[in-house]
Structure 1
Amino acid sequence: MKSAGSLAGLGALALLALAGCDLPGKPKAGPEVPRPEEVLAFETLYAANCAGCHGVHGQDGAATNLANPKYQALIDDASLREAIAKGVKATLMPAFAQENGGMLTDAQIDALVQGMRASWRRPDAFGGETPPPYKATHAGNAAKGQGVYAIACARCHGPSAQEAGTAGSILSGSFLALINEQTLRTTVIAGRPDIGEPDWRGHIPGRAMTDDEITDVSAWLMSQKPVNPGQPYPAVSTAVQTPGEKPASTLKR
């Protein structure tokens, strides 16, 4: 009969042997899924938080063309970071920083800014020319802006909200309700190559738009935003309807 010590020794050897085996279901070293706040890879963060509005590759989305090198050259790091962290007022851009109700840490927001710069910023994006400043230096003159719209925008976007041009209306109340004055200014200056929108040098035949013209037309466009976007709504009948009876609006007259 083997002694208790011998049996214990055999048991220890068996445990060591099993420990070295790659058993089915044995977890790998480290967590299988990292905690959300530990994700710092730009591609992962962008896909989860930005691609839905700005496009899978920073373009062809409903929102700003982030992959546009001119946009990346126009906006500074502080403004880009602030837009991500705090959101953009009067637009659908939400705040992503945890301190503002979002889900991202400061390190993750920094990773997004750095990733965009590394992926999409290009030296000499404006070909040696100096664009107007990112932010307006004074309030715009809406009255003058109407005239600027006529010569710089109407040929593509139409003369009125009811007469949309080939590039679609930017006087539509529904469109204006989703953007703010800074968004308009940025788009005019940097353009949107993903949808064929030129930069500030291509809106007026023969010359570039001036800083004042951009400021004024942005102010005028914002002045066209309706108080209640989407109105008027179709009239809704308040008449009591008998079960099985067709709505009054569908009855033949």
Structure 2
Amino acid sequence: MNSIHYLWPTAPIASLPVYGSNARLPVRRIFCVGRNYHAHALEMGNPIDKATMRPFYFLKDPGSLVESGATVPYPPGTRNYHFEMELVVAIGAEGFRVAPAHAGRLVYGYAAGLDMTRRDLQQIAREQGRPWDLGKNFEQGAVCGEIVPATALGVLDKGGIELAVNGETKQRSDLSLMIWNISEIIADLSAYYHLQAGDLIYTGTPEGVGAVQPGDRITGHIDGVGDVVLDIGAPE
């Protein structure tokens, strides 16, 4: 059989380190849940009524993934670059139309992550009824720490989540305050997609999001899961 000849070198596979292992987790897709904490939805001016609404999602390209500890340039096209601290769920098995009671079977592990956002571009898109891609899906805009296998953690339903900029706390909340919990998110998302091993789900951010500048250091922590660190470099 003839091997495939590509016109130029293929992109490397996006992957993340796994706690306690030399293996790495290959990343397939990155799903993000919008407005999954009431206080954050309110600070964005878009309150959520769980009784009448379903979760909504946007995607980030695997090429946007960067590991914790990196220094990234302040991105082009924005003057309002925001942090959003989030629990990341790593899917480890295939699932489609999964019931909430069975959703935990799909979870491989968890990580602390940052959904970096060009807020001014996101707001312009929202006001004009356009997709959020310029505000959300850009190079080095999805930051993630090492994956902690869920074996000893089960399906997380509580735990402190916080973020600091230059040592000053900006976000502090608890996973129990998510509007849609992990099982509900997986079940709902699997009604639209065939979830696969390697999919990541950023589960939403608490209140307190804000802007960073070149030279700032972001540090985030989730109890029982771990940490994420990002340094903001000079503009490109």
TM norm structure 2: 0.21
Tell me which structure has the larger Cα radius of gyration.
1
Considering fraction of residues, name the structure with more strand.
Answer: 2
Considering fraction of residues, name the structure with more helix.
Answer: 1
TM norm structure 1: 0.20
- RCO higher in 1 or 2 (8 Å CA, sep ≥ 6)? 2
